[in-house]
Amino acid sequence: FHQFPLKHISLLYFFSENDSLELFSSLENDNKQARTFKIIVIGDSNVGKTCLTYRFCGGSFLKNPEATIGVDFRERTVQLDGERIKLQIWDTAGQERFRKSMVEHYYRSVHAVLFVYDMTSLLSFESIPEWISECSRHSVGPLVPQVLVGNKCDLRESCQVPTSAAQSLADSHNIPLFETSAKDPSEKEHIDAIFLTLAYRLKSNKTLRLKQPSESSLREMRDQQEQDATSCRC
Ligand SMILES: Nc1nc2c(ncn2[C@@H]2O[C@H](COP(=O)(O)OP(=O)(O)OP(=O)(O)O)[C@@H](O)[C@H]2O)c(=O)[nH]1
Ligand SMILES: [Mg+2]
């Protein structure tokens, strides 16, 4: 690791073992021309945020994910109409104790938001208005592209959230609704399409560019994450 600049060591901290290879290859292929956009994935614990982001960035279904502490970074570069766009995905923690110290970092300079609920959990759907309010409280305005995603559509027989209810919530906030499954391999392209919907909207805004988090704020997040992990695993 000592061959890497500190910035990269700090980032590496946030990747699980499975992700580190991907980070190395993405660093190798780093294209200075690519615009980078920060997308945060928000929703209750256990709705499948980690599995969805892993499916989009890693291609497969992550078996036995652990609850996210603080944030996990994932990244995928896509080619849209001849332009390379780097999507920096912030997979946030749903559990209050693992997120409370990080909330300010989540929303800082965010470009797009993906709200997730679990189609088999009415409670997780009923939380969505609170997640939308949290966004608004952190100055995420209507110009920031947002999508609502109902996950776990493979568990049809346990579904507790009718599409009509989800659609009216989405309509009332003027955001598109998608129902999908991180688990079902046939939904892989659909998940790509969800993230690409955001990417296309971001791409069309020529003035947007990611302000990379400073080394000190990355260090601050890492220290906080370490502290949360040790103090709350009881
Ligand atoms: N059947 C099914 N299970 C899923 C799907 N996506 C995730 N899961 C399962 O749901 C559980 C929670 O998934 P995670 O991705 O860890 O949930 P999370 O939203 O990241 O949770 P936090 O990190 O605690 O906020 C795991 O047991 C996954 O295997 C899906 O599409 N279908
Ligand atoms: Mg998670």
Token readout for 207 is: 């003035």
Concatenate the DSSP letters of all residues of the chain into one string: -TTS-HHHHHHHHTS-HHHHHHHHHHHHT--TTSEEEEEEEE-STTSSHHHHHHHHHHSS--SSPPPP-SEEEEEEEEEETTEEEEEEEEEE--SHHHHTTTHHHHHTT--EEEEEEETT-HHHHHTHHHHHHHHHHTT--TTS-EEEEEE-TT-GGG--S-HHHHHHHHHHTT--EEE--SS-GGGHHHHHHHHHHHHHHHHT-TT----PPPHHHHHHHHHHHHHHHHHH--
Q: What angle do CA 131, 132, 135 make, to 5 degrees?
A: 90
Residue closest via CA to ligand 1's atom 1 equals 152
pLDDT at 208: 52
- Give the residues surrounding ligand 1 with Cβ less than 6 Å away: 45-51, 65, 67-68, 93-95, 151-152, 154-155, 181-183
Token pair 């499975």: residue: 18
Name the pTM for this structure: 0.82
Residue closest via CA to ligand 1's atom 7 equals 48
Residues less than 5 Å from ion ligand 2, measured at CB: 49-50, 68
pLDDT at 213: 61
Token readout for 153 is: 């559509």
pLDDT at 17: 36
pLDDT at 211: 55
The ligand with the least distance to the CA atom of 16 is 2
Query: Over the chain (234 residues), what is each successive 10-residue block's mean pLDDT?
Result: 32 37 45 83 98 95 95 95 94 96 94 98 98 95 94 97 98 96 98 96 70 66 74 56
pLDDT at 224: 73
Atom of ligand 1 nearest to the CA of 47: 19
pLDDT at 212: 59
Residue closest via CA to ligand 1's atom 30 equals 152
Residue closest via CA to ligand 1's atom 12 equals 46
pLDDT at 182: 98
Cα separation, 188 vs 129, whole angstroms: 27
What's the 3 CA to ligand 2 centre distance in angstroms?
A: 30
